[in-house]
Structure 1
Amino acid sequence: MARVEPVVGEPAAVADLGGERALLVADVHAGIEVGLRYERGVELSSRADERREGLCDLIAETDADRLVVLGDLAHRIGAPDGDEREELAALIRAVTDRVPMTLVEGNHDAGVAEAFADRVDVIGPKGGVAGADRVTGDGGVALVHGHTWPDPKLLDADVVCMGHEHPQVRLEDAVGGSRVERAWLRGAIDPNAFVDGGGDDSTASGEPPELVVFPAFNERSGGTWVNVDGQSFLAPFLPDALPTGDAYLLDGTRLGEFRQV
């Protein structure tokens, strides 16, 4: 059984991908400050250095052989240019000087794979599986961003890792105060809701893989308040594909069923 273990206190996890120890993150949104300035007229100081150094520090701390970004490495939708491209180039160079890097294409990554093809391995938007049994093709870790319907073959994996959703929980105290925290979601997939048109009978009758929805690496990127009524999920298969799932804070605190937090 493939294992995906969150790094305590960080929006990141480690996983065995067929003999490689990989560091997995989602939704880096490099260049977000440029995007917010362009989209909303909001001026924020850049945290490009902190994001880059944070990723490199995590690679060292986890002794990772590879970095996998589960989509939305970039922020602005479209081919990167200007300050955003400079930030991406510096980040990718810093990572790939240390370990290989894989990007699962997200909805914000148009043009990124092409622009940095000499530095980054790419998995398409429908996802792929790493570390599967070489004979049967079963098991392993499925990697997908989550903005579109995934390849049904991902259901053959032991666990499916995705980004895109930026899950958060809104927590209230006894006197009415509240705060919002990034969170993990984990639970068994409903195969019939995960695949466009429903899963086939053979997959649906077997043991479904676990779904791990990653918090956004970038704390400025907002997200879905998964425990607040009326919040719309971003992925086309959520929340239906996660009929029961627990929420966890970055420090590992288990909050229980995410709908009841």
Structure 2
Amino acid sequence: MARVEPVVGEPAAVADLDRERALLVADVHAGIEVGLRYERGVELDSRADARRERLCDLLAETDADRLVVLGDLAHRIGAPDGDEREELEALISAVTDRASMTLVEGNHDAGVAETFANDLDVVGPERGFLGGGPSAADERRGGVAVCHGHTWPDPALLDADVVCTGHEHPQVRLEDAVGGSRVERAWLRGELDPAAFTETGTESDLPGDPPELVVFPAFNERSGGTWVNVEGQSFLAPYLPAALPAADAYLLDGTRLGNYRRV
């Protein structure tokens, strides 16, 4: 069975995709400081260099052949320009000097594919991407599927062993015994409900167990997210939370918190 292994302490994972070792991240939101200044009048020092260095360090640490971004490589919705474009140019150049790069288009990536067409392999948002894994020789199914999560995915992704998605930016709110609290990024992992994953609600004829669904934490720590264990929080992906009826939450350090609804 194909495996998606988180990198301990990081919002990133590794997987085998079509004979390549891939580093997977979601929601980089390059240029977020520019967007926050424009959208909300908030002034923050840029962490562009730190984001770029973290990605390059992770590629080296995991010995990855390819970086796969599960959508929202950029932050502002529209063709990148100004400081955001400069950050993207430097980031993409640094990554592609070391490995190939694939972008699964997210809702913030309008214009990115066209601007950097010579540097990126791009997968459209309406489909997602299914890559072969150790079980790809199985005639029924196999491999790892990736999508961003802001649209209904192609039902063909249900043929994978594991489906990886971003967009949600899952976080958990943790309280201590004296009433203090903190918010931490988290992974969500659990058996996928095929009927809730498709727009028509029709369950595919899948022999064997359904795929695992892995919802990635945001790579960018400034991008906010959904507090998945707080009642009344609205999920962003059209298939969540219904497609994950019994998911467990994990902190970046690997701590298993149990069912996210009970954390």
Is the CA contact 1:71–1:106 (under 8 Å) kept in the aligned structure 2? yes
1:119 matched to 2:119? The reply is yes
Is the CA contact 2:169–2:224 (under 8 Å) kept in the aligned structure 1? yes
Q: Distance in 2 between matches of 1:39 and 1:159?
A: 36
Is the CA contact 1:172–1:179 (under 8 Å) kept in the aligned structure 2? yes
1:182 matched to 2:185? The reply is yes
The offset of 1:227, in angstroms, is: 0.1
Is the CA contact 2:113–2:122 (under 8 Å) kept in the aligned structure 1? yes
Check 1:134–1:119 CA distance in 2 against 1; reply closer, same or farther (3 A cut): farther
Match of 1:250 in 2: 252
Instruction: In structure 1, list runs of 5 or more residues that go unmatched.
Output: none
Is the CA contact 1:152–1:199 (under 8 Å) kept in the aligned structure 2? no
The offset of 1:138, in angstroms, is: 2.1
Instruction: Give TM-score scaled by structure 1 length.
Output: 0.97
The offset of 1:134, in angstroms, is: 6.3
- Equivalent residue pairs, number: 260
Match of 2:131 in 1: 130
SS in 1 for 2:202: coil
Match of 1:168 in 2: 171
State the AA in 1 paired with 2:161.
D
SS in 2 for 1:143: strand
RMSD of aligned Cα (Å): 1.1
Deviations 1:171-214 (CA, angstroms, capped at 9, x unpaired): 000000000000000000000000001133413x6411000000
Is the CA contact 1:77–1:107 (under 8 Å) kept in the aligned structure 2? yes
State the AA in 1 paired with 2:241.
P
Instruction: In structure 2, list runs of 5 or more residues that go unmatched.
Output: none
Match of 1:209 in 2: 211
The offset of 1:131, in angstroms, is: 1.0
Check 1:97–1:218 CA distance in 2 against 1; reply closer, same or farther (3 A cut): same
State the AA in 2 paired with 1:152.
P
Match of 2:155 in 1: 152
After TM superposition, which residue ranges in structure 1, 4 or more long, deviate above 4 angstroms? none
